[in-house]
Amino acid sequence: MIRHIVFFSATDQADVGRIAEKLGMLGDIPHADFFEIGLNRKVDQLGSDVDIIVYGEFRDEAALAAYKAHPIYAQCITEVRPLRDMRIAADFVSARPA
């Protein structure tokens, strides 16, 4: 299984909810086995740069690639990119079953 985690920060804190709402459209892409959007609660004392987290689980790299190739993914990038500051993504193979 591939776990896909993306961290975002908003350029303007007033846009955090709007960014999260727009990222929610990614949940309509059928290739993820599990998908969710979360807002960072910012309780970690050492870092609170992240505002929004996208988390997805995919059967394999082909499913993740299909997710990223979907037209909704491209639409989401177009709508979110102007509102965000930082974006950090990580994909890793999990040895643990979902």
pLDDT digits (tens, 9 = 90+) for 37-70: 999 999 988 878 999 999 999 999 999 999 999 9
Give the contacts of 29 (CB within 8 A, at least 6 positions apart): 35, 67, 70, 72, 73
CA distances from 45 to 38, 42, 48 (A): 19, 8, 8
Edge to edge, the sheet with strand 34-39 lists 34-39, 52-58, 2-10, 84-93
Specify the pLDDT at position 21: 98
pLDDT at 95 exceeding the cut of 90: no
d(C-alpha 16, C-alpha 51), whole Å? 7
Mean pLDDT, the chain, integer: 95
pLDDT at 88 exceeding the cut of 90: yes
Structural domains of the chain, ranges and CATH numbers in brackets? 2-93 (3.30.70.100)
Per DSSP, 39 falls in state: E
The pLDDT confidence band at residue 98, using thresholds 50, 70 and 90, is low
pLDDT at 77 exceeding the cut of 80: yes
| pTM for the full predicted model | 0.92
Specify the pLDDT at position 46: 85
